[in-house]
Amino acid sequence: MKNNEQTSDSRPRRRRIPFLVRATFAGLAIALTSLWALSVSYDISREELTGFLVGSILLLLGVLVAAALLVTCVKVLAMLVAKVRKSPRDDWQD
C-alpha cells in the first residue's frame, strides 16, 4: 500500500522539484552568501558590489548570446553543405 506522503512514482513529495532546479537554487544561495560575506569582511560598498554583479551578468549574457550565434552559424553551414551535396548534379559534362 502507498503512503500518503508518496506520489504515484514512489518519490517523496519534497522531491517534486527537479534536481537541477534545486541544485541551481542552492548554487545561487551559496554564491549570494559568499558575496555578502566578502563584502562585509572587506568593507566593499554597495555601489561597487552592484557594479561588479551587473558587469558579471552582462558578461555571462554576452557569452551565452555569442555561443548561441556560433552554434546557429555552424548548424546553418552544415545544412547548406548537406543541401549542396544532396542536390542533383547537372549533366553538362558529357
Residue 93 lies inside a defined structural domain of this protein: no
Does residue 92 lie in a domain region?
no
Q: Are residues 53 and 19 in the same domain?
A: no
pLDDT over threshold 80, residue 34: yes
User: Cα separation of 17 and 26, whole Å?
Assistant: 12
Q: Are residues 38 and 76 in the same domain?
A: no
Residues 70 and 50 grouped into a single domain: yes
Q: Is there a domain that residue 65 lies in? A: yes
CA angle centred on 32, ends 49 and 41, rounded to 5°: 60
27 assigned to some structural domain = yes
Residue with grid cell 560575506, as numbered in its chain: 37
As a whole number, mean pLDDT of residues 72-92 equals 85
Domain that holds residue 50: 45-87
Q: Is residue 94 part of a domain?
A: no
pLDDT in tens, 48-67: 988 988 999 999 999 999 99
- Is 17 domain-assigned? yes
Query: Does residue 15 surpass a pLDDT of 70?
Result: no
